[in-house]
Structure 1
């Protein structure tokens, strides 16, 4: 199993941007305790307060997918999705 990075960009609804920023900061603090998560970085776009990007490092793609499956099953993903202006964009990336 090779380590993998996941880059996810979210666009919050304008009226929810501040609350979403708080939520993203909570994710940044709590996600590293998830099985297989090696670390998280959070970025905000300098020209748009509604756009946030998480860069997550995982021990394997499978561990990330298991984490997402748990988030969906628990309903946590649905509550996050309600805050968004559009679906998130994500990709798996290998560091070069």
Structure 2
């Protein structure tokens, strides 16, 4: 059964464009990962510092394998752009 992962990111003041650029660069990596069925980046209309990545996966295990393969130093560098820790959860279609 497929699963959806919804991730929330909030940029520090003055860092929204830099965070958007970083997150945009993640999309090709995610979509090329085994088991990815789709991935989209959204920016909140009224709060330009808030972003969501919505990912569709064949399985939760495929998503977790994708995360394990992403270079940790790239993600660590992006942490300086964030106002708070990223949040994410898995969802099933009802």
Q: TM-score, normalised by structure 1?
A: 0.87
1:63-74 matched pairs, under 5 angstroms: 63-71=62-70, 74=72
Q: Distance in 2 between matches of 1:10 and 1:74?
A: 17
- The C-alpha deviation readout for 1:55-84, integer Å capped at 9, x for no partner, is 00111101111111222x542221222211
Shift of 1:26: 2.0
Please name the residue that 2:11 is paired with.
Answer: 12
Please name the residue that 2:77 is paired with.
Answer: 79
Which sections of structure 1, spanning at least 5 residues, go unmatched?
none
Q: Distance in 2 between matches of 1:52 and 1:74?
A: 20
1:39-78 matched pairs, under 5 angstroms: 39-71=38-70, 74-78=72-76
Please name the residue that 1:3 is paired with.
Answer: 2
Could you tell me whether the CA contact under 8 Å between 2:8 and 2:50 is conserved in 1? yes
Q: TM-score, normalised by structure 2?
A: 0.88
Instruction: List 4+ stretches of structure 1 deviating above 3 A.
Output: none
